[in-house]
Structure 1
Amino acid sequence: MTEQTIELPDEASTVAFGEHLARQAQMIGGVVIFLHGDLGMGKTTFCRGVLHGFGHTGAVKSPTYTLVEPYETARGRVYHFDLYRLSDPEELEYLGIRDYFDEDSLSLIEWPERGEGILPKADLEISIETAGAGRRLSWQYNTEKGRELADKLIKV
């Protein structure tokens, strides 16, 4: 499992890469993506790009207080999770977390380590960190679906 990396010079390029990922993920279906990075690294910005790639035209906000924001788009269902404020992974069971993961949806999960033991295995894990004035995104796959998506991502 080789880690792949891309340098993104600004917010617009982060959104554009999210849109690229969305186009590739639509061809695979049922993908779970973990997003790692400190506060302010651009995880929600990246998610905005993914949602735009799925055809969502409205605002994209971080679901910090609601834990999950569902989006029904013409190109598929996307669930955006933000587990930053989760105090116990067991809270996810009360949310009915297992119902969100199916073969027809894409799940983007910020702060997945807070749901450890409850969340399914990620197909793809993306880390975001600063790189000068921009960001460096690196990703690695954990499943065959993740490998398929990772292979498509490098072809930007």
Structure 2
Amino acid sequence: MTETRIYLASEEDTIALGRRLAAALKPPLVLYLSGELGAGKTTFSRGLIQSLGHQGAVKSPTYTLVEPYELPGVEVYHFDLYRLADPEELEFMGIRDYFTPNSLCIVEWPERGQGLLPAADIQLQLKYANSGRELILTSATAAGDALINSLK
């Protein structure tokens, strides 16, 4: 298990870190994003998803629960479980079908789906710190270790 802390002074830093991670990732991969409302989870996701080739806007899938992106070489599924009333709702939407050998699954508010989500390769926790954010990256697999080590 590897843990790294990174200070992000601005929204641009958060997007840039998403881009750096995108350059090094290889599917399949599961990322959990945690943090208070407005901490930068969707901003980080935007940098990552756009760096993988998505040309349009990246919005939080708060009401749809998942936003799919078919990109060259990877299927990206961006989940936001903030409004999930019961983890069982994930069963009804076929949650297991999203976690494939060619997918990158980015899950905001993963604690709301506890027990039904696959384990994360990396957990990213964003916290308010001074006028910026502190990002704590914690790996749980060898793939997660490799990705975090690529950032150093």
**TM-score of the aligned structures, taking structure 1 as reference length:** 0.94
Query: Percent of aligned positions with the same letter in both sequences?
Result: 54
In the alignment, is residue 8 of structure 1 matched against residue 8 of structure 2? yes
Query: Per-residue deviation at 1:153?
Result: 2.2
Q: Structure 2: state its 5+ residue gaps.
A: none
Q: Is the 8 A contact 1:123 1:145 kept in 2?
A: yes
Task: Give the 3-state SS of the residue equivalent to 1:50 in structure 2.
Answer: helix
CA distance in 2 between partners of 1:76 and 1:3 (Å): 26
- What amino acid maps onto 2:43 in structure 1? T
Aligned match of 2:108: 110
In the alignment, is residue 58 of structure 1 matched against residue 53 of structure 2? no
Q: Structure 1: state its 5+ residue gaps.
A: none
Q: Is the 8 A contact 2:2 2:148 kept in 1?
A: no
Aligned match of 2:69: 71
Aligned match of 1:19: 19
Q: Is the 8 A contact 2:73 2:102 kept in 1?
A: no
Task: Give the 3-state SS of the residue equivalent to 1:4 in structure 2.
Answer: strand
CA distance in 1 between partners of 2:18 and 2:116 (Å): 26
Query: Per-residue deviation at 1:95?
Result: 0.5
Q: What are the equivalent positions in structure 2 for 1:79-90 lying under 5 Å apart?
A: 79-90=77-88
In the alignment, is residue 129 of structure 1 matched against residue 127 of structure 2? yes
Query: Per-residue deviation at 1:75?
Result: 4.2
Q: Deviations over 1:48-70 (max 9, x none)?
A: 00011101110111000100000
Q: Is the 8 A contact 1:54 1:75 kept in 2?
A: no
Query: Per-residue deviation at 1:145?
Result: 1.2
**TM-score of the aligned structures, taking structure 2 as reference length:** 0.96
Task: Give the 3-state SS of the residue equivalent to 2:53 in structure 1.
Answer: coil
Q: Is the 8 A contact 1:55 1:75 kept in 2?
A: no
After superposition, the CA RMSD in angstroms is 0.9
CA distance in 2 between partners of 1:134 and 1:95 (Å): 36
Q: Deviations over 1:93-133 (max 9, x none)?
A: 00100000011111100000000000000000000011221
Q: What are the equivalent positions in structure 2 for 1:39-54 lying under 5 Å apart?
A: 39-54=37-52
- What amino acid maps onto 1:52 in structure 2? Q
Provide runs of 4+ in structure 1 moved above 2 Å: none
Q: Is the 8 A contact 1:92 1:115 kept in 2?
A: yes
| Number of aligned residue pairs | 152
